[in-house]
Amino acid sequence: MKKLIAIISTACMIAGSTAAYGFEKVPCINQSTLTKGCKAAYLIDSGSGECIYKENETQRMPIASVCKVMTLTVCLDAISSGKLSYDDMITASEHAAGMGGSQVFLGAGCQYSVDQLLKSIVVCSANDSCVAMSEAVAGSEEGFVAQMNKKAAELGCNDTLFANCTGLPKETQYSCAKDVAIMFRNLLQYENYFNYSKIWLEDFVHPDDRVTSMTNTNKLIRKYSACDGGKTGFTNEAGFCLAATAKKDNMRLISAVLGADSSDDRFSSTMNMFDYGFANYKNKIVLDKDVTLNDEFEVIGGKKDSFAVCPERNSYVFSSIDKSPEVTHKISAYKVKAPVAKGQIVGQIEVFRDGVLCDTVNIVSAEDVKKASFGDYFRDISENWAL
């Protein structure tokens, strides 16, 4: 049962990342001023999912190895659900070891850890590792591709269809810049992705003592200091493609560039979009997990009548730098009985941007509250009697 203890406050004093709750879109430019030699592009704020820049964003086209964004997502979903672990050993099949294109030259019949295979997919776009993982997760690449398409549908990627897990040319497979950004945003919820994405050079050691040198295909991790992740792709049909992310201060941006004429064009266009986004947009902190709220919550049967509370995480509101949206919040407290542990969830706070809900954050106790003893009750009775 919840008890409403605070209504709306127009002053935002406190703030993590906002979710896309459907508030009015921040106006985005729709002209080919930031990209060069690209067929499509899309730039969003990672926290809110709001669009900053778009160019032919829903045009269906091949995306080559950028499809591995979804390959990685399905693999990490399997780990998250407990179906696999990073230490599990996978035996490479003849089919997996025979993949062409970019690869780490898996040995058929050799065993590799899930951690090794995922790292090689992120760093050097290894097709053989993709197929080995697909067989481990779903029993076959075909079954895995079905999971990829199911996940895409769940994310609302209506202009995406996968036919394999590698991005190698095959009929009836396509995506678009907007869907790529949505899929990449979803992938970034897995923090372990960043353990791989920032690697520049590393050796892949095979169980038969062979060594394959891996170099990151995403050159932006060396060219653009804020960039800490991305997935490249290239085929003659798809052109040069790139999904990338960069973070400065408390704002993370996600970009997608498809069908670029050259590798330089995809990287320079992405950097231009990032520069534009960081220069013209901001995430304003509106809830700070390290700052207690003005309201104290009541506690039943405690050594004290009320206790201090704070947000469980930070919350931010995204907007252009020349705008100051009205930010308000509403606090709901749960009915709480002592004892109360520091960090215990005791309520919720809803954040509104211009009157529209944009985030919901748990409220936690900022202190321990012990249960009142018989002596505490006796003392209270004595003090009240004296009055």
Q: Answer whether 102's CB lies under 8 Å from 128's CB.
A: no
Find, among 377, 345, 376, the residue nearest to 362 by Cα. 345
- From the list 17, 48, 54, 68, the catalytic residue is 68
Q: Answer whether 199's CB lies under 8 Å from 119's CB.
A: yes
Q: Answer whether 145's CB lies under 8 Å from 156's CB.
A: no
- From the list 125, 268, 269, 315, the catalytic residue is 125
Return phi, psi of residue 126, to 5°: -70, 115
Contacting residues for 64 by C-beta, under 8 A, at least 6 apart: 167, 233, 234, 235, 237, 238, 241
Quick check: is 170 catalytic? Answer: no
Helices and strands in the chain: count of H runs, count of E runs: 10, 18
Quick check: is 68 catalytic? Answer: yes
d(CA 121, CA 197): 10
Contacting residues for 172 by C-beta, under 8 A, at least 6 apart: 161, 163
In single-letter form, the type of residue at position 32 comes to S
In single-letter form, the type of residue at position 327 comes to V
Helix or strand or coil: residue 75? Answer: helix
- From the list 17, 46, 48, 65, the catalytic residue is 65
Quick check: is 36 catalytic? Answer: no
Crossing angle between the packed helical segments 68-80 and 141-154, to the nearest 10 degrees: 90
Q: Answer whether 107's CB lies under 8 Å from 142's CB.
A: no
> Where in the sequence numbering do the catalytic residues fall?
65, 68, 125
